[in-house]
Amino acid sequence: DARLRAAFDEGELHVRYQPQVDARGRVVGAEALMRWIDGTCDPVGPAEFIAIAEESGLIHLLGDWCLEAVCERLVAWEPHLGSAFRCSVNLSAAEFLHPDFVERVGDVIERTGAAPHRLRLEITEDTVLTDLEFAAERMNALRALGVEFSLDDFGTGYASLTYLRRLPVAEVKIDQSYVARFLEDPADAAIVRAIVDLCRSLDIRVVAEGVETRAQFDRLVEEGCDAFQGYLFGRASVPPADPRSLLERP
């Protein structure tokens, strides 16, 4: 879409960062989220403009730019970071599947000097659906660089438990729809518990997304989730000098 391309050229796209905390509320990571801020029109949400970018192929340009911005941010943050801190970047299927993708990630890491073990790539179940072998190979190649993988929106796609076994996934993100309902809905609570149990036995970390209330947080801690992300801790915001400042209520 020409408008999106123009917006990109005009510098109207920005990378914002949302904090992730551990069970004690300490910042242990962040997720990079793209924003289109043009000052005149209503803001277009990423779900909408990412879909446009995917259709037009612009996603590769935007994705490379986002990855580079995150790597530069990680370099700037490095003096403030604890050893386990990682920043997540979302990948569209087309980005992950592009023939040059592994090479491009390697290049951007080298060019920026970012520590590869600070980088985490988020993919969805649908991205790996068509060719599990290929996905596993590609993920292993990236893992060899030090990058780790997170399975986003877990429980909403064509989830298959074999994915968790066959893919080198370090982390699973329980979709926010479960987090929103599990306190009231016993079926959702059972699913959350099953995901946590399964991931624990496979040595995969569990992150809960969309945590908005203290009650949700407390229960998710009890259930054994490892990390938490949501408006309760902070929205996606302009990167501060110290990532601990991403917390809205420290």
Ramachandran angles phi, psi of 30, nearest 5°:
-155, 160
214 belongs to the binding site for ligand C2E (CB under 6 A): no
Contact 106, 145 (CB under 8 A): yes
- Least Cβ distance, residue 195 to ligand C2E (angstroms): 16
Contact 188, 182 (CB under 8 A): yes
Amino acid identity, residue 152? D
**Which of the ranges 75-83, 135-143, 187-195, 224-232 carries the binding residues for ligand C2E, by CB under 6 A?**
224-232
CB of 79 or CB of 105, closer to ligand C2E: 105
CB of 9 or CB of 90, closer to Mg ion: 90
**Which of the ranges 101-109, 127-135, 226-234, 237-245 carries the binding residues for ligand C2E, by CB under 6 A?**
226-234
Residue 91 interface partner, choices Mg ion, ligand C2E, none, CB cut-off 5-8 Å depending on type: ligand C2E
**Binding residues for Mg ion, per CB under 5 A?**
90, 122, 152-153, 209
**Three-state secondary structure string covering 115-146:** CHHHEEEEEEHHHHHCCHHHHHHHHHHHHHHC
Residue labelled with tokens 């612009």: 58
E-strand ranges in the chain read: 13-21, 27-36, 86-90, 119-124, 148-154, 171-174, 205-208, 227-229
Residue 212 interface partner, choices Mg ion, ligand C2E, none, CB cut-off 5-8 Å depending on type: ligand C2E
**Which of the ranges 6-14, 71-79, 137-145, 205-213 carries the binding residues for ligand C2E, by CB under 6 A?**
205-213
139 alpha carbon, distance to own chain's centre: 15
Q: Alpha-carbon distance 227 to 87, whole Å?
A: 13
Question: Of these, 45, 82, 146, 240, which contacts ligand C2E (CB under 6 A)?
Answer: 45
Chain positions 46 to 105 lying near ligand C2E, rule: CB under 6 A, are 46-47, 50, 63, 66, 90-92
Q: Alpha-carbon distance 198 to 193, whole Å?
A: 9
Chain positions 116 to 175 lying near ligand C2E, rule: CB under 6 A, are 122, 152-153
Q: Alpha-carbon distance 141 to 102, whole Å?
A: 7
Tell how many helices (H) and how many strands (E) occur in the chain. Answer: 11, 8
Residue 34 interface partner, choices Mg ion, ligand C2E, none, CB cut-off 5-8 Å depending on type: ligand C2E
CA angle 153, 91, 134 (to 5 degrees): 95
188 belongs to the binding site for ligand C2E (CB under 6 A): no
Question: Of these, 134, 160, 231, 242, which contacts ligand C2E (CB under 6 A)?
Answer: 231
- Provide the binding-site residues for ligand C2E, judged by CB under 6 A: 18, 33-34, 45-47, 50, 63, 66, 90-92, 122, 152-153, 176, 209-212, 229-231, 236
